[in-house]
Structure 1
Amino acid sequence: MSSRIDLRLSPSVSAGLIATLPWLALLAFALTAAAGTRPWMLALAPVAGAGAILHYRRFGLLRGKRSVTGLALEAGKLQAILPGREAIPVQPCRASRLGPMLTLLKLRPTGSRLGAYYLILLAPEPWPGGNVCPDQFRRLRQWLRLGQSQLSN
């Protein structure tokens, strides 16, 4: 069996909605607090709205400079594919969360402690709107669980 994995992400409304959940929670909190005795909390509403829009574009529509549109694994080296740029060697961090239907990945560029790339991977089976191929997604999760000797922080 070949160890090559070529996982391409497709735009997904479901992934975009998952990415906006923290911002929508902040918006709901601000509106609830403003309805009571703290009208100054309405200042958070534009920030939460802008954050929701930016994250929907980045994770749902896969648009933006830091959007990851694919992952490639060849000879034990993981690479993040960014639109309009070369593939960047990355390492998964311990903050990543793996699940059978939803995986949240934090990828740090190899040799760098600054910056990270984030991905939301959704299996297409249980929910409509998944953004990855099920076979490649399964193989990536297996490699992340079993093929990694040690994850970076």
Structure 2
Amino acid sequence: MAEHGIQPVRLLVSGHRAPHLPLREETLHHLPDAEFLTRLSERSRTLRALTDPEFRKLLLPMLRADFTASETYAFVAGPQLTCPITALGGEQDEDAPLGEIAAWQRHTTGRFELTAFAGDHFFIDDAWEAVVTTVGERLRVRTGGAPR
């Protein structure tokens, strides 16, 4: 974007380590469905939503695509952003610990803010009101009014 003269006004990231950090765990995206689901259930509570066969049929391709994108991404260094970065994370998130989320600071010359919420990787389930308030406030600061 920078090479085209386009800069975002703010970057909000949530529950994801900084892009320059190497993977910490084995990859899952290539596993057969049954093993993929088993390994996923060992790592998170996502599997609860996948106990219904119809829902599983709908969500499994999206989950696999998400893991494929995340696990095969290759960081390429480029110019730093100049916009502020707001990073959100769960205090007990083992998938994306706060230290790895804080590493997003390296990617901007602008202001960086890390906001931690009680909870794990799915902190938004329990803290959704606080998350919505935080995001809304950050967007309002830039627009000078209600977000559009």
Same fold per TM (> 0.5)?
Answer: no
Higher relative contact order (CA 8 A, sep 6+): 2
Identify, as 1 or 2, the structure richer in helix. 2
Scaled by the length of structure 1, the TM-score of the pair is 0.30
Is the strand fraction higher in 1 or 2?
1
Question: TM-score scaled to structure 2, two decimals?
Answer: 0.31
